[in-house]
Amino acid sequence: MEIFLIMLALVGSVFWWNYRRFKRMRAQSFDWYAQTYPQHIQDGQARCRECKNSRIHTRKVDNYSLREHFCPNCGVTLYYSPLPE
């Protein structure tokens, strides 16, 4: 019985951690980027805040329905967006 409770607590904390991570990533949206780094928005397009590169790539975030927008030049993550349905 005790082992069951320990397992439940472990699984619960993994879910909780994943949920927190998801919320944190989802909060870093394009709007957040535009508000935080308005100097790096040009013609409605974001550019890298580190190297000013305007060619932003995207990749799917494993296990989450989110896309990561990142700079292929220096690798920094800029913002996240929901996956298209």
Among 10, 27, 74, 83, binds Zn ion (CB under 5 A): 74
Burial class from Cβ neighbours inside 10 Å (0-12, 13-18, 19+) for residue 79 reads: buried
- 83 CA to centre of own chain: 11
31-60 footprint of Zn ion as x/- string (CB under 5 A): -----------------x-xx-x-------
Min. distance of Cβ 48 from Zn ion in angstroms? 3
Query: If DSSP codes are grouped into helix, strand and coil, which group holds residue 43?
Result: coil
Site residues for Zn ion per CB under 5 A: 48, 50-51, 53, 71, 73-74
